Structure 1
Amino acid sequence: MDIYASALSPALDIGAGCYLLVLTVLSTVGNLLVLIMAFRRSSRMKPPELLSVNLAVTDLGAAVTMYPLAVASAWSHHWLGGDVSCIYYGLAGFFFGIASIMNLTILAVVRFIVSLNLHSPKEKISWKKAKMLCMWTWLYALVWALFPILGWGRYGPEPFGLSCSLAWGQMKHEGFSFVVSLFFVNLLVPSVIIIFCYFGIAMRLYFTYKKSTNSNHVPNIIKLHRRLLIIAVLISAGFVACWTPYGLVSLWSVFNDGSKIPPEVSLLPCMFAKSSTVYNPLIYYFFSQSFKEEVKQLSWLCLGSHACQVSNSVSENDIYMVSVNLKSKDVVRETVQEITELRQ
């Protein structure tokens, strides 16, 4: 039996390939825009923003290095490249997935630290620390991705035959410790940390707002923090929601006979998980006014439309202050420092 032959119908293969092609285009364009925006204002970028850039790199990396091979395999009705490409694909998917969840966890912790003092102009996270955190996420993900190559765990084809990942069904005994460690260390613990941090930020903003009844500028800062909190929660929730169905199905196949799951059913959580690379730029665009204005300033994308021409008149302060209207010059200077320090 050819383990790399598609277990799906030809029509479903073509549909899956088209779906992955759309994800590839959307993810590549969206995350490239995030990186272009970061490059255009690199001189004004604050250290915490480097973590958001790092997250865009993980999503872009997954879309560029993995999805085209999956598209070609789907349209060929057979996994291309055999064992070598299967191990490569599984390693790349595991590598970028771990890097993403760790990056989201670090982002939550950094935002929690920043929220502890909303009014301090002092830099909370230095460039050196931000770069070290980004490097740590990649090294940590690489170590976990190499474990199956070194014998702890195993890579193999998915049940539907058009993708490769961890061979969940083959790790019932010799790889059981790997599965338990993976779900505990790289899913359960990060999820608890993310929930704790964002709940702590929400409570911090709530109590700060209660104490700010006699202040004119604190509520505006809180509104900004609330906007950033919403974006961060949506990004984290989107990633967890995309990967949870796949994780549950994979975990079920470890304890039960995975062959009982129809190929069409096993395909759905895998395709849903791959869509996680698309959501972040969309969230930035619809929930971050400054990011939307910056995108509109790229006249070569708008083909000279009126929206782009108007957006060029938006001042830097209007973009980065999110239309905060304050009177005191000292307060304005402090607030600009805080906003540029905290925004994504």
Structure 2
Amino acid sequence: MIVSNVSLSSCSKADSAWCAGGSEGHLETTSHGTLSPTGHLVVAVCLGFIGAFGFFNNLLVLVLFCRYKMLRSPINLLLMNISVSDLLVCVVGTPFSFAASTQGRWLIGQAGCVWYGFANTLFGIVSLISLAVLSYERYCTMMTPAEADATNYRKIGAGIGLSWAYSLVWSVPPLFGWSRYGPEGPGTTCSVNWTAKSANNISYIICLFIFCLILPFMVIVYSYGKLLHAIKQVSGINTAVSRKREHRVLAMVITMVICYLLCWLPYGVMALLATFGRPGLITPEASIIPSLLAKTSTVINPVIYIFMNKQFYRCFLALLLCEAPQRGSSFKSSSKVNRPFRPVRRTDNNLTFVVASVGRPTTCPANPTNSAEDQASSDTPKPVAVSLVAHYNG
């Protein structure tokens, strides 16, 4: 079923996405051209580093999560979902493209090429959607603070299920005729067929670009933009420490957005140019660079979203030193009120929001050394004070 739409009979001069080379059944691309032996060697070295570091980083994240109970919070489940999808790319995808680059050709046939393209598309979209869900969850944490309970785990579980279901919706259609998976660039990797000029293929490319690249990016920018706006308002109240935290969160958010664009925007632009540009506009050398940048997300994601997190970093040091992880202070609160209150708190390991909502404020007691006018002035009720304190733990 998988290879029914990519049979050898479809190989032609006009559309040579699939061509069999030799008796071994290796795939070659007559229209894509090829890299020089030195170029293939450079790509193989890059893929080797990406696969090794991506595998190690994401496996380490999963080990930390399984070993330390303090990390098993609802928000961290989303981080684990990102690590799982990135780890699967390093296990079921990168080794095959690495081996193909060492030999200068695709080695595991048509079915293997379709599987490679499907798996990398599936896991890549899962990672992108999970990043968007993570940013939206942090935004919801800011807007509706609440204690972590079973409801939070159900919401995060639903978000994880949504990321996989959404990814399947967009990665399965090429298996059934809406576009197709085939060799990419110099023929050592496989992906969606970007070069076909048919309406069937172009419609799929446009939808994939909008719903799997632009839409997650818009969610990320909107959610973190709202989060930064709230922290800036808090900094206006507590200008000493809060401004420093605001700058740290701002640096973290800018890093997330820049790395997202650096990894995925070149690949999206390359795909659009290959789809709508003239034939041969995208050379093998130009096509392989965006593909490598997209794969580096498997290395960068754990560093940004995990190891920049102080809680994970403490557990990492504890794992190396065989000690119990140190616990840092998680939050403080301040409020000018006259009655006891219970702050509502929600933490996502990077930010803690504390909201105090109270009734009538306190009045200033009369000072016997003051005049009657001063006492009357001090007895005047002041507006209700409500404080929102955001603390950055990353």
TM over 0.5: yes
Displacement, 1:231?
A: 3.8
Instruction: Return closer, same or farther for 1:226/1:313 CA change in 2, 3 Å cut-off.
Output: farther
Displacement, 1:284?
A: 4.7
| Structure 2, unaligned runs of 5 or more | 1-18, 22-26, 352-392
Q: Paired residue for 1:185?
A: 211
Q: Distance in 1 between matches of 2:259 and 2:143?
A: 25
Is 2:357 aligned against 1:338? no
Q: Paired residue for 1:243?
A: 264
Q: Distance in 1 between matches of 2:161 and 2:325?
A: 35
Q: Distance in 2 between matches of 1:128 and 1:293?
A: 27
Q: Paired residue for 1:63?
A: 90
The one of 175, 179, 190 aligned to 1:164: 190
Displacement, 1:275?
A: 0.9
Please say which of residues 226-235 and 264-273 is displaced more in the overlay.
Answer: 226-235
Is 2:141 aligned against 1:114? yes
Partner deviation per Cα, 1:162-219 (whole Å, 9 max, x = no partner) = 1110101114422221112111112222211211111111001111222346xx9xx5
Is 2:165 aligned against 1:144? no
| Greater relative CO (CA pairs within 8 A, separation 6+) | 1
Displacement, 1:107?
A: 0.8
Cα root mean square deviation, aligned = 3.1
Q: Distance in 1 between matches of 2:43 and 2:151?
A: 43
**Paired residues for 1:34-183 under 5 Å:** 34-42=61-69, 45-117=72-144, 120-121=146-147, 126-183=152-209
Q: Distance in 2 between matches of 1:46 and 1:313?
A: 18
Instruction: Return closer, same or farther for 1:72/1:292 CA change in 2, 3 Å cut-off.
Output: same
The one of 21, 28, 36 aligned to 1:4: 28
Instruction: Return closer, same or farther for 1:133/1:337 CA change in 2, 3 Å cut-off.
Output: closer
SS of 1:259's equivalent?
A: coil
Displacement, 1:49?
A: 1.4
Displacement, 1:334?
A: 6.4
Which amino acid in the other structure matches residue 192 of structure 1?
Answer: M
The one of 207, 226, 241 aligned to 2:233: 207
Displacement, 1:13?
A: 1.2
**Paired residues for 1:291-302 under 5 Å:** 291-299=312-320
Partner deviation per Cα, 1:282-317 (whole Å, 9 max, x = no partner) = 225663333223212223xxxxxxxx37xx3763x2
Q: Distance in 2 between matches of 1:283 and 1:271?
A: 18
Q: Distance in 1 between matches of 2:345 and 2:314?
A: 18
Which amino acid in the other structure matches residue 57 of structure 1?
Answer: V
Q: Paired residue for 1:302?
A: none
Q: Distance in 1 between matches of 2:107 and 2:301?
A: 30
Instruction: Return closer, same or farther for 1:36/1:223 CA change in 2, 3 Å cut-off.
Output: farther
Is 2:315 aligned against 1:288? no
Question: Does the CA contact (< 8 Å) of 1:48 and 1:341 recur in 2?
Answer: no
Partner deviation per Cα, 1:11-52 (whole Å, 9 max, x = no partner) = 221221121111111001101111111112235522111111
SS of 1:93's equivalent?
A: helix
Displacement, 1:88?
A: 0.6
Partner deviation per Cα, 1:65-93 (whole Å, 9 max, x = no partner) = 10001111111211011211110111011
Which amino acid in the other structure matches residue 82 of structure 1?
Answer: G
Which amino acid in the other structure matches residue 83 of structure 2?
Answer: A
Instruction: Return closer, same or farther for 1:258/1:276 CA change in 2, 3 Å cut-off.
Output: farther
The one of 10, 18, 22 aligned to 2:49: 22
Q: Which has the higher strand share?
A: 2
Instruction: Return closer, same or farther for 1:277/1:171 CA change in 2, 3 Å cut-off.
Output: farther
Question: Does the CA contact (< 8 Å) of 1:153 and 1:166 recur in 2?
Answer: yes
Please say which of residues 124-133 and 25-34 is displaced more in the overlay.
Answer: 124-133
Displacement, 1:335?
A: 9.2
TM score, norm. by length of structure 1: 0.82
Displacement, 1:153?
A: 1.5
Displacement, 1:126?
A: 1.0
Question: Does the CA contact (< 8 Å) of 2:315 and 2:325 recur in 1?
Answer: no
Q: Paired residue for 2:289?
A: 268
Q: Distance in 1 between matches of 2:168 and 2:36?
A: 35
Displacement, 1:117?
A: 5.0
Q: Identity rate of aligned residues, in percent?
A: 28
Q: Which has the higher helix share?
A: 1
Q: Paired residue for 1:256?
A: 277
Instruction: Return closer, same or farther for 1:114/1:158 CA change in 2, 3 Å cut-off.
Output: same
Q: Distance in 2 between matches of 1:128 and 1:226?
A: 33
Displacement, 1:4?
A: 2.2
Instruction: Return closer, same or farther for 1:59/1:339 CA change in 2, 3 Å cut-off.
Output: closer
SS of 2:182's equivalent?
A: strand
Q: Paired residue for 2:3?
A: none
Q: Distance in 2 between matches of 1:34 and 1:227?
A: 23
Displacement, 1:123?
A: 5.3
Q: Paired residue for 1:305?
A: none
Which amino acid in the other structure matches residue 83 of structure 1?
Answer: Q
TM score, norm. by length of structure 2: 0.72
